């Protein structure tokens, strides 16, 4: 009897936070009531191992049956049987403390399910976890002088891209052994990591990353650009190491780095194990549960789900595969039961290798699976954002090359369109269209990734033999076979796919599966409620294109033309329009540099005259071009008890009239000459980019307020540092870059417009004065007499 064989045993489990590991913990607690579990869990960056056990394992819905059984005593019952120790299989000795080593020493069985299960893991990471992880466990047992039964979870795909029978034997002992030295592979992968990192720091690559960062963030400021550049560098390193893993695996006949490193891990463990008894369990493609802990239970998306959901959403029109080939799927509860069965058999009776697969005795054909999926989504379609049903395409069976070419062409076309739109000065809903294009490109990139990663698996024609699995099954009595079912022949694929698996993955994918427009959760309304919550401390607003449809060029133009006659005004407008592309280019490169460059035009302007004219400009330009919804939002924040702050690169004299709306105004300041004229220079850095974030941080620190409780409203990607500093960012009429960033990060986006009927000139012109009033002019313009 399985439960009796494991009664009183202390079982260590690695990988308990994963799909198989979580199901394994639940099944042992529920079905083997007298065993003790020791969970080896890695400390998170901010979450210790014990808390991860609570949050990531025991709170999972896999434990609903146990919660129902124990009620309020669930936590107490579990605490009496589960011990968490902090450790990491990528570290020699697992990084255990002395106390935890003693706990580990007392374990009778070790079930090693920790793995880098992603099919696109960077090669060095896959080597450290999949290849060396099992050997580190065996070596630790040697150090501690113990010989527990080590049950190592591997994969059937260690057999590689072979056709025909794949028996339950080590690859290194079969006819397809190519004489690999696992130690050499480890050394090579570690060198590659250092070499790739060094290459990423070359002048050529760093310049490219910097250029990409600027293209994505625009004039976001040096710190934000530096952070994005480093992020892109790390991303490039990872991508190179992922590709290196794929290339190395393909060159040796494995579908990916996961299967390649698992195969070498088996070889290394067999060589290193010494006196430690080892049993290897090889599942095929693990999917949602057949029955335990409940039908359809799944944790995270596995291999098939992204492909199926992409097909149902109309993103994948076709997918490579051999129609008469086998998709070797096995429900997770059968895998867990087999692992427990091997552990219970002990080193005396357990097979050296047990494959848990369906293809050899209960095959699911690829064409059959496609027909099931197509029929199900025809009967139960997903719906688009307008509430219309998505008609799934008829799926044929092309080669991977054709599908990859189609997706690559589509991705390139969308990338070209994206770049073109980013070059245009789009805002608001027009800019959101560009963000929509980016989302579509990302979806196509994902579809291409699926084809590259999973295409080999759907084209695989290996048939995994399960003789040892069936022999173990036949050795069980009827009670064990009922309690711990791992016979693949019990699975009715029609019922499993249509009644269990597809409903489950649609539920977990959180896709729209009902007709009509999506109304249950109005996300913008929910976010607006959050930003106006009385708990917030500060609401900080940008001015231009956030509260008013104007900018510093328009303000200057209004002041500069106020004392010009009609011919000079026409000349000014034409000259300024010719300058516009150059000004836009400088502004996109660096907002502070643009303001310094443009504000030079105020040199020698009389302070008294400018202040007088600015007061009139407030009513004739600023207010008429304001967004009523924006000013209303400022008042709503004040009514909620929030402090309101204006942070703008506009000159202080141009925004003085807005002071009644705000508790504080941070604006650009210009120095004054002894003769009462402006110098055209700013003595301090204007509040743009990262300077805005610092200003708000300093203000909150001085006033005892929290940045996490601040709301920020702005329109440009140069405001990303400000957005990242606060707890509640709001993108208002965002330009193209910010629209894309806001969509990715889930920020609230507002589209505010001017009041209907407000003037919309090409360039704002100040009210024409009489000849007597037209005495002094802003430098850079001309008087009626033509004097400059």
Low-confidence ranges of the chain (pLDDT < 50): 519-520, 762, 770-777, 782-788
**Judging by beta carbons within 10 Å of its beta carbon (0-12, 13-18, 19+), is residue 279 exposed, middle or buried?**
buried
Whole-prediction pTM value?
Answer: 0.77
CA dist., res. 214 & res. 583, Å (int)? 17
Strand intervals (E) in 598-653: 643-651
Distances, alpha carbon 405 to alpha carbons 315, 400, 427, 449, in Å: 15, 9, 34, 12
Q: Could you tell me if 262 and 156 are in contact, meaning their C-beta atoms sit under 8 angstroms apart?
A: no
DSSP bridge partners of 728: 711
Please give the pLDDT value at position 771.
47
User: Tokens 């308990």 — which residue?
Assistant: 16
Helix (H, G, I), strand (E, B) or coil at 259: helix
Say how many domains are in the chain: 1
User: Tokens 């989504």 — which residue?
Assistant: 377
In sequence order, which residues have a C-beta less than 8 Å from that of residue 500 and are 6 or more positions away? Answer: 288, 289, 290, 295, 296
Please give the pLDDT value at position 774.
45
Residue 31 within a domain? no
Which tokens belong to 508?
A: 């977990």
Parallel, antiparallel or unpaired: strands 538-541 and 109-112 = unpaired
| Number of continuous H segments (helices) and E segments (strands) in the chain | 31, 17
Please give the pLDDT value at position 783.
37
Please give the pLDDT value at position 646.
96
Parallel, antiparallel or unpaired: strands 285-287 and 461-464 = unpaired
In sequence order, which residues have a C-beta less than 8 Å from that of residue 643 and are 6 or more positions away? Answer: 537, 538, 539, 663, 664, 703, 705
Please give the pLDDT value at position 776.
45
Q: What CATH code is carried by the domain that includes residue 694?
A: 3.40.50.1000
Residue 285 within a domain? no
- What are the pLDDT digits (tens) for 167-185? 888 876 655 566 889 999 9
Q: Could you tell me if 249 and 255 are in contact, meaning their C-beta atoms sit under 8 angstroms apart?
A: yes
Q: What percent of the chain has pLDDT over 90?
A: 57
CA dist., res. 668 & res. 656, Å (int)? 12
Please give the pLDDT value at position 112.
96
Return left, alpha or beta for 656; rule: phi > 0 is left, psi -120 to 50 is alpha, else beta: alpha
Residue 85 within a domain? no
The DSSP annotation for 491-542 comes to --HHHIIIIIIHHHHHHHHT---SSS---S--HHHHHHHHHT-TT--EEEE-
Residue 533 within a domain? yes
CA dist., res. 302 & res. 666, Å (int)? 51
CA dist., res. 529 & res. 521, Å (int)? 13
The DSSP annotation for 43-80 comes to --SSS-HHHHIIIIIITSGGGHHHHHHHGGGHHHHHHT
Please give the pLDDT value at position 519.
47
Residue 553 within a domain? yes
Helix (H, G, I), strand (E, B) or coil at 712: strand
Residue 724 within a domain? yes
Radius of gyration of the chain (CA): 33
Which tokens belong to 202?
A: 């070359």
Half-sphere exposure of 35 (CA within 13 A, CB side): 30
CA dist., res. 217 & res. 242, Å (int)? 26
Q: Could you tell me if 85 and 96 are in contact, meaning their C-beta atoms sit under 8 angstroms apart?
A: yes
Please give the pLDDT value at position 520.
44
* CA triple 510-513-514, angle to 5 deg: 130
For the chain, give the mean pLDDT: 86
Residue 575 within a domain? yes
Structural domain containing residue 652: 527-750
Helix (H, G, I), strand (E, B) or coil at 488: helix
Please give the pLDDT value at position 621.
85
Please give the pLDDT value at position 176.
55
The crossing angle, in degrees rounded to 10, of helices 502-509 and 366-379 is 60
Provide the 8-state DSSP code for 13: E
- Cα 177 from chain centre: 39
Closest among 736, 744, 745 to 419, alpha carbons compared: 736
Q: Could you tell me if 656 and 666 are in contact, meaning their C-beta atoms sit under 8 angstroms apart?
A: no
Please give the pLDDT value at position 482.
94
Closest among 343, 327, 347 to 335, alpha carbons compared: 343
CA dist., res. 419 & res. 437, Å (int)? 10
Residue 637 within a domain? yes
């Amino acid at each position: 009897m399985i439960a009796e064989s494991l009664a009183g045993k202390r079982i260590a489990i690695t990988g308990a936070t994963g799909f198989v590991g979580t199901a394994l913990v639940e099944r042992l607690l529920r079905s083997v009531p007298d065993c003790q579990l020791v969970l080896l869990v890695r400390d998170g960056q901010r979450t210790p191992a014990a808390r991860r056990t609570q949050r990531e394992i025991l709170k999972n819905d896999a434990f609903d049956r146990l919660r129902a059984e124990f009620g309020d005593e669930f936590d107490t019952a579990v605490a009496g049987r589960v011990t968490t120790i902090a450790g990491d299989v990528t570290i020699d000795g697992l990084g255990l403390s002395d106390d935890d080593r003693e706990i580990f020493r007392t374990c009778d069985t070790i079930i090693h399910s920790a793995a880098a299960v992603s099919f696109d893991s960077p090669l060095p990471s896959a080597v450290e976890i999949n290849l060396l992880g099992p050997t580190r466990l065996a070596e630790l047992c040697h150090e501690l002088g113990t010989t527990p039964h080590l049950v190592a979870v591997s994969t059937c795909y260690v057999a590689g891209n072979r056709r025909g029978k794949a028996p339950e034997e080590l690859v290194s002992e079969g006819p397809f052994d190519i004489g690999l030295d696992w130690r050499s592979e480890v050394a090579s992968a570690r060198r590659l990591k250092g070499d790739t990192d060094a290459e990423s720091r070359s002048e050529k690559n760093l310049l490219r990353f910097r250029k990409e960062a600027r293209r994505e963030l625009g004039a976001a400021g040096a710190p934000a650009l530096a952070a994005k550049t480093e992020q892109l560098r790390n991303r490039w390193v990872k991508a190179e190491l992922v590709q290196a893993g794929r290339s190395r695996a393909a060159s040796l006949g494995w579908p990916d780095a996961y299967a390649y490193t698992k195969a070498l891990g088996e070889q290394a463990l067999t060589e290193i194990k010494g006196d430690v008894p080892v049993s290897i369990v090889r599942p095929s493609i693990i999917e949602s549960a057949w029955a335990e802990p409940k039908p359809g239970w799944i944790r995270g998306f596995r291999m098939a789900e992204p492909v199926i959901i992409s097909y149902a959403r109309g993103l994948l029109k076709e997918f490579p595969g051999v129609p008469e080939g086998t998709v070797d799927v096995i429900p997770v509860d059968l895998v867990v039961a087999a692992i427990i069965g091997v552990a219970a058999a002990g080193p005396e009776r357990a097979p050296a290798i047990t494959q848990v697969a369906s293809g050899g005795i209960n095959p699911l054909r690829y064409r059959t699976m496609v027909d099931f999926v197509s029929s199900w989504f025809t009967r139960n379609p997903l719906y688009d954002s307008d509430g219309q049903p998505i008609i799934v395409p008829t799926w044929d069976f092309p080669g991977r090359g054709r599908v990859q070419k189609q997706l690559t062409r589509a991705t390139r076309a969308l990338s070209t369109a994206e770049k073109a739109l980013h070059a245009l000065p789009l805002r608001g809903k027009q800019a959101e269209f560009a963000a929509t294009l980016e989302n579509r490109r990302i979806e196509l990139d994902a579809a291409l990734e699926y084809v590259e990663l999973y295409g080999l698996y759907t084209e695989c024609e290996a048939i995994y033999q399960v003789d040892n699995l069936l022999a173990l099954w036949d050795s069980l009595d009827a009670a064990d076979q009922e309690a711990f079912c791992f016979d693949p022949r019990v699975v009715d694929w029609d019922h499993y796919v249509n009644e269990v698996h597809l409903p489950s993955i649609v539920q977990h994918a959180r896709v729209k599966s009902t007709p009509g427009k999506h109304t249950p959760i109005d996300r913008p309304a929910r976010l607006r409620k959050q930003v106006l919550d009385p708990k917030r401390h500060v609401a900080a607003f940008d001015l231009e294109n956030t509260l008013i449809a104007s900018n510093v060029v328009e303000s200057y133009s209004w002041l500069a033309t106020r004392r010009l006659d009609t011919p000079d005004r026409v000349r000014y407008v034409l000259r300024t329009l010719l300058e516009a592309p150059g000004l836009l280019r400088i502004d996109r490169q660096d907002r502070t540099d643009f303001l310094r460059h443009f504000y030079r035009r105020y040199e020698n302007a009389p302070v008294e005259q400018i202040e007088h004219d600015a007061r009139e400009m407030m009513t004739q330009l600023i207010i008429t071009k304001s967004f009523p919804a924006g000013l209303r939002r400022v008042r709503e924040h004040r009514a909620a008890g929030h402090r309101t702050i204006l942070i703008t690169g506009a000159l202080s004299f141009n925004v003085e009239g807005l002071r009644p709306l705000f508790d504080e105004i941070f604006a650009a300041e210009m120095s004054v000459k002894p003769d009462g004229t402006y110098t055209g220079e700013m003595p301090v850095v204007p509040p743009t980019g990262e300077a805005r974030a610092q200003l708000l941080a300093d203000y909150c620190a001085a006033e005892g307020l929290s940045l996490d409780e601040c709301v920020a409203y702005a329109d440009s990607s140069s405001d990303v540092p400000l957005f990242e500093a606060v707890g509640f960012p709001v993108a208002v009429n965002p330009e193209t870059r910010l629209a894309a960033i806001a969509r990715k990060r889930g920020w609230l986006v507002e589209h505010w417009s001017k009041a209907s009927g407000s003037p919309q000139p090409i360039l704002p012109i100040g009210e024409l004065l009489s000849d007597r009033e037209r005495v002094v002019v802003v430098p850079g313009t001309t008087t009626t007499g033509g004097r400059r």
